């Protein structure tokens, strides 16, 4: 697992003042996504990972309702330009649990994968994963950063 570092030269950290701005950031990303894209979403509880995913799904042309997969672990949205697999690794205890859900099969499909708490099992994320960290700002809103590597493992329990 690589050390935490921001991606060199793309965009600076983006301040997102509210949930609508977080969804807007997801919509902007959606226009560039292709089948096989994997987005690793990291950040504390309530940071906006699901709001970001709502924007991606909407930006891909889906009108499906997007909710947090914390308790269901996986939600699929297949009505847009590209199918989306939305996972939450927060409650998973081992890499084997993720593999039993069908992780390897999804990686072989032409889908967009958005994985919340992806840093918990960074070793299973493909090399082409785009890492995104969303975190609350002390002055309000959220801060979105694109990372060059997986951040240190979250100790979610």
Query: What does pTM read for this prediction?
Result: 0.87
Query: Phi/psi of residue 84, each to 5°?
Result: -120, 130
- Which tens digit of pLDDT belongs to each residue from 4-39? 344 443 557 999 999 999 999 999 999 999 999 999
Q: What is the pLDDT of residue 72?
A: 76
- Which tens digit of pLDDT belongs to each residue from 44-91? 999 999 999 999 999 999 999 898 877 778 999 999 999 999 999 998
- With helix as H, strand as E and coil as C, how does 1-22 read? CCCCCECCCCCCCEEECCHHHH
| Cross-sheet strand order for the sheet of 142-147 | 14-16, 142-147, 130-136, 38-42, 112-116, 84-88, 74-77
Contact (Cβ atoms closer than 8 angstroms) between residue 84 and residue 55: no
Q: What is the pLDDT of residue 151?
A: 72
Contact (Cβ atoms closer than 8 angstroms) between residue 53 and residue 27: no
All structural domains of the chain: 14-147 (3.40.50.300)
Q: Which DSSP string corresponds to 76-125?
A: EE-SSSS-EEEEE-TT--SHHHHHHHTHHHHHTSS-EEEEETGGGGGGGS
């Amino acid at each position: 697992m690589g050390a935490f570092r921001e991606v060199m030269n793309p965009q600076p950290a983006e301040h997102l003042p509210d949930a609508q701005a977080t969804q807007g950031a997801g919509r902007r990303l959606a226009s560039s996504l292709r089948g096989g894209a994997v987005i690793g979403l990291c950040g504390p509880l309530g940071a906006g990972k699901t709001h970001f995913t709502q924007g991606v799904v909407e930006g891909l042309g889906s009108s499906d309702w997007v909710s947090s997969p914390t308790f269901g672990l996986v939600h699929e949205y297949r009505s847009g330009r590209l199918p989306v697999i939305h996972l939450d690794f927060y409650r998973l205890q081992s890499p084997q649990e993720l593999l039993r859900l069908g992780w390897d099969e999804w990686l072989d499909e032409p889908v967009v994968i958005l994985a919340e708490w992806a840093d918990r099992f960074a070793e299973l994320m493909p090399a082409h994963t785009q890492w995104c960290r969303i975190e609350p700002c002390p002055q309000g809103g959220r801060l979105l950063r694109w990372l060059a590597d997986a951040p240190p493992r979250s100790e979610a329990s």
